[in-house]
Amino acid sequence: MKGPLVSVIIATLNGKGLLSDCLKTLYKYESNFEVIVVDNASTDGTISWLKKSYPQVKLIENSFNTGFAKANNQGLELASGEYVLYLNNDTLITEPFLKTLIAELVSPKVAAVSPLILLPDGTIDSIGSYLTRTGFLYHRAHRHKPDPSFVHKTNTYSLKGACMLWKKSVLDKIGQLDESYFAYFEETDLCHRAVNAGFNLMVVPQVSIIHLGGMTSNKIPSSFIQYHSYKNRIRTYIQNLPFFTLMTVLPIHLLLCLLAALKFGLKVPKVGLAVLKGIFMGIFLGLLNRNYFSKKANLSKLTINPDWRYYYFLFKGLEQYEKIY
């Protein structure tokens, strides 16, 4: 008997209500897939509910929170599909979308694809992210209403981990999500490794999903989020960027990160210290894990350099930044 075409991996932690809505919409619109749920020690009844409501789902029960990367890798070990869909539990499927995404993966050059990811208010959550000279990613048209003038199929630097469909054969080649990241920016590291291996990453806005956004991270202390975010972003660049690009991006990025640590520290010292710790751990881990002899891709076509106002509104709210590159 032929196995499923797509393996859908969903990591969850105390998100029974979110997972219920996600699975309900997924099963409504799609077929020929399997679902693998990895539960990171939920205490809200997720496991008993899932066993009763969706007995066909493959379930991994962890005794502690292993982190987003490890949980998804556990799911990947059970995946039998030709394609792997990493899907957040706080997403809603609003139309059949897998067939359209799979059609883009026919090209041997394409490693992974994402749909247009929308926020509940109909504005854009993600149509791809791009490298900048500062190291802070350019999230194209984030929180803007979709418009045909800028919403079109495109090659990007990083897909959003909330919903991305990968060829399993590519993951077998470039490796899984880096479990030492624990959470945050691990999908960008994975995407960068795919680019370094010569693959393209595509956003296909002909289909879309809704991402509620931040439903799990809202329950997590800010110091934890900032530590892992700064650590993982810095180490990703040190590990993956070509030397001359790294020497251009890293000094500016580190300076801005130190200023951010000062800004956070003046308001909440604990958060400022977490950012500072993240900076130094990112440098250490990046240097430790960099493959100094492997080929690094030229990212000039995946780089966008917005004006300085973008970085101001990156922290204030990108819906106020009207320019779209």
Per-residue pLDDT of 136-186, as tens digits, reads 999 999 999 999 988 999 999 999 999 999 999 999 999 999 999 998 999
Report the pLDDT averaged over residues 279-291.
96
Residues 90 and 216 sit within 8 Å (Cβ to Cβ): yes
How far is residue 174's CA from residue 204's CA, in Å, rounded to a whole number?
22
Report the pLDDT averaged over residues 92-99.
98
How far is residue 148's CA from residue 154's CA, in Å, rounded to a whole number?
13
Report the pLDDT averaged over residues 39-68.
97
Instruction: Quickly list DSSP for 215-245.
Output: TTGGGS-HHHHHHHHHHHHHHHHHHHS-HHH
Residue 1 has a pLDDT of: 40
How far is residue 162's CA from residue 10's CA, in Å, rounded to a whole number?
10
Provide the residue ranges of all domains of the chain, joining segments of one domain with +: 6-216, 219-293
Residue 4 has a pLDDT of: 74
Average pLDDT, the chain: 95
Level-2 CATH architecture, domain 6-216: Alpha-Beta Complex (3.90)
How far is residue 185's CA from residue 191's CA, in Å, rounded to a whole number?
10
Report the pLDDT averaged over residues 79-97.
98
